Amino acid sequence: MLLGVYWYYGFPEGLYHFDFFTFRPGLGGHADGPAELTATVRAPEPTALLAEVRVVADRYPEAYLFAEPHETLLRLRLGDYALSDYSFHVATELEKVLRRQQAVATPERPPAGVPLLRLAVPHDPTPSYRYGGLLGTGGGSSQGQYHAEHHALRLDCHLPQTEKAAFLHVLAGVSEQAGLEVLYYFDQPYRNLVNLMVLFANGRQGINGQALRYTDVVALEQAVQQQLTAYGGKPDHRGGAKSYPEQGPHILRMTDAEFIL
């Protein structure tokens, strides 16, 4: 699973600028559509242009990249439900190709029936994970600086207050072993217990085309469950709404805080 900073509803103004690509925000809700970076151009040497685009796709295979070629017209699309820095970097590299090939932006669209070429499709090497276990999803809805959102895993639990510090210390080690850069929590005491909401995540992913870092959520959940049991904890919160963990955030591990908090 890919955790970390992404863009869906808003464009990262101030981080990226494009001459050819335009940003279409995700639709969300019942409409349910991915966010997209699209560019439609005409070029004097369309075969050479498409060949250079394929070179970029081979160099950066971890973004959804589609092409619709028709005569001298070429439409490029980078789309995802979570556009990371990696996808924006690919768009930057493609713009260099478009300039070299003397492409000109156009509002035209390829005619109906033009074949859709899948030039790159990401591959997540980690086991699939179905929500409903110990770790749920969290953090994805809030927009931070530059319209950023972030995908995190969330642990809701309670344990004896006397075990809180040791448990969180161990979780920091588990997080580091899992390759996660972000770990923070909210807490609220309830009698002799403490309710915790712990969030596991990464920061920005794929800056300058760096390889994406996927998280094995199945292994992470097993490690967290083992430690929760060892420190006398159990899933979920105690005490109702008045004891919901709202104190925080308390940071244990953090990077790119301005995009997350």
Tens-of-pLDDT digits for all 261 residues of the chain?
999 999 999 999 999 999 999 999 998 765 578 999 999 999 999 999 999 999 999 999 999 999 999 999 999 999 999 999 999 999 999 999 999 999 999 999 999 999 999 999 999 999 998 888 899 987 655 567 899 999 999 999 999 999 999 999 999 999 999 999 999 999 999 999 999 999 999 999 999 999 999 999 999 999 999 999 999 999 999 999 999 999 999 999 999 999 998
Domain ranges of the chain: 4-120, 135-260
Interatomic CA distance for residues 199 and 76, integer angstroms: 36
Return the bridge partners of 199, or none. Answer: 154, 184
Interatomic CA distance for residues 57 and 73, integer angstroms: 19
Domain 4-120 is in which class? alpha beta
Phi-psi region of 85 (alpha: psi -120 to 50; beta: other; left: phi over 0): alpha
Report the CATH fold assignment for 135-260. Answer: GMP Synthetase; Chain A, domain 3 (3.30.300)
Q: Following CA atoms 228, 229, 234, 235 in sequence, which dihedral angle do they give, to the nearest 10 degrees?
A: 60
Interatomic CA distance for residues 40 and 250, integer angstroms: 46
The pTM of the full predicted model, rounded to 2 decimals, is 0.93
| Nearest one of 170, 82, 85, 144 to 155, comparing CA atoms | 170
